């Protein structure tokens, strides 16, 4: 009986570890911390034995993982990214380098968003989560989630446009 449970739990871990890791990584932005959260979450679930009785496995897991990740988040961990820092980051001329740089810039800008905007946006990047599930995880209405995600995207566009202007100005001068 016990070994069968263990086998089922191993399957459960295999099935959901990637999802938990992505969720923790979206919050923490650090692979090692995210791995710690994954381990902590699954051990907690195994000890409590609640993983078998959860009505909606994914939503339940997402809530537990998000809380664990938030607990791991230090108060001063938010990356304080200002535009000057990003503008002087990687001024590479090659297109591939520019693409990679663009992605990195976007990630840094997301890191620099206020937490109330960053977390809905980060969770929305995980395809498995719907806006209602994100609302459940964060404990806010679904409409608020959508509004915050839109607002975060808008802010990103504005910041990227400002950065582009600065980059062009720097290149021309």
Nearest distance, CB of residue 55 and another protein, angstroms: 23
Nearest approach in angstroms of CB 31 to another protein is 5
d(CA 113, CA 138): 17
Contacts 24+ apart (CB under 8 A), 159-165: 159/83, 159/109, 160/105, 160/106, 160/109, 162/83, 163/83, 163/86, 163/87, 163/105
**Using rule CB under 8 A, residue 51 touches another protein:** no
Contact between 60 and another protein by CB under 8 A: the answer reads no
- Using CB under 8 A, pick the residue from 52, 77, 103, 132 that binds another protein: 103
Cα separation of 56 and 51, whole Å? Answer: 10
Q: What one-character DSSP code corresponds to residue 126?
A: S
Among 54, 79, 102, 140, binds another protein (CB under 8 A): 102
* Alpha-carbon span 130 to 169, nearest angstrom: 40
Q: What is the DSSP letter of 89?
A: S
Q: Applying CB under 8 A, does 8 fall inside the site for another protein?
A: no
Q: With contacts defined by CB under 8 A, name the span among 66-74, 75-83, 135-143, 154-162 that binds another protein.
A: 154-162
Q: Please give the residue ranges that form the binding site for another protein (CB under 8 A).
A: 2, 6, 9-10, 13-14, 17-18, 21-23, 25-26, 31, 34-35, 38-39, 42-43, 46, 98-99, 102-103, 105-107, 110, 121-123, 125-126, 153, 156-157, 160, 164, 167
């Amino acid at each position: 009986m016990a070994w069968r449970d263990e086998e089922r739990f191993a399957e459960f871990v295999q099935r959901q570890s990637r999802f938990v890791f992505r969720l923790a990584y979206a919050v923490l932005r650090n692979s090692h911390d995210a791995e710690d959260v994954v381990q902590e979450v699954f051990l907690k679930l195994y000890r409590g034995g609640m993983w078998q009785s959860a009505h909606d496995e994914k939503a339940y897991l997402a809530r537990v993982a998000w809380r664990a990740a938030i607990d791991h988040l230090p108060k001063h961990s938010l990356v304080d990214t200002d535009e000057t820092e990003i503008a002087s980051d990687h001024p590479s001329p090659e297109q591939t380098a520019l693409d990679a740089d663009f992605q990195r810039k976007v990630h840094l800008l997301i890191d620099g968003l206020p937490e109330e905007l960053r977390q809905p946006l980060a969770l929305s990047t995980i395809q498995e989560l719907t806006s209602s599930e994100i609302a459940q995880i964060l404990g806010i209405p679904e409409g608020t989630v959508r509004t915050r995600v839109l607002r975060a995207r808008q802010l990103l566009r504005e910041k990227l446009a400002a950065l582009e202007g600065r980059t062009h100005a720097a290149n021309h001068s």
